Amino acid sequence: MKGWLISNALFILLVIFWSFWHREYSSPAIVVGKTFAVIAVILFIINVNMYFIFLIIRKSKTKGIKKTLALFSRKMMKFHVPIAITATALICIHAIIMISFHPLEIIDIKKLSGILAILILSVHLFSGWLRRKKASGFRRLFHLRMAFIFLTFFLIHIFI
């Protein structure tokens, strides 16, 4: 458990370091946009970690760990949707700021990966809405797969 928390903390520090180190900015607004994006990444990581908590609950043989994580996950799931909405709003603000300072006339791989990540996020949010309306095994798996596809594309966007 400690290893998982440490790896999450190291990942967040890596994202912060990668986002702000040795980059020249033409405006403080770009720094604000990147800060919103980093906060959104932290919120998305919190939501993605819910999958791993449920995985540990399913796979663990220790009853105490299962009980503790089940209680924790029950409380955390109340915040899953608000965290996702907040992170999405921050990503939208980030996109608006970046587009206003870096027009779309010049398309590079960073912009393309960001646009693709937002499109995948839209499908993911729609799948979450469908799952909330009527839960089924297919909708759960589709939402889960879209979460990891989105995670992959936003990681590509961050580290390009």
Mind listing the pLDDT tens digit for each residue in 12-47? 888 888 887 766 667 888 889 989 999 999 999 999
Q: Which of 16, 40, 23 is nearest to 101 (CA)?
A: 23
| Distance in angstroms (rounded) separating the CA atoms of residues 22 and 44 | 25
- The pTM of this model reads 0.85
**Span 45-97, pLDDT tens digits:** 999 988 888 888 888 888 888 998 899 999 998 999 999 999 999 999 999 99
Q: Which of 159, 131, 154, 127 is nearest to 40 (CA)?
A: 154
Q: Which of 37-41, 108-112, 121-125 has the lowest mean pLDDT?
A: 108-112
Contact 22, 63 (CB under 8 A): no
Contact 120, 150 (CB under 8 A): yes
* Domain extent listing, the chain: 1-15+26-102, 107-160
Contact 85, 48 (CB under 8 A): no
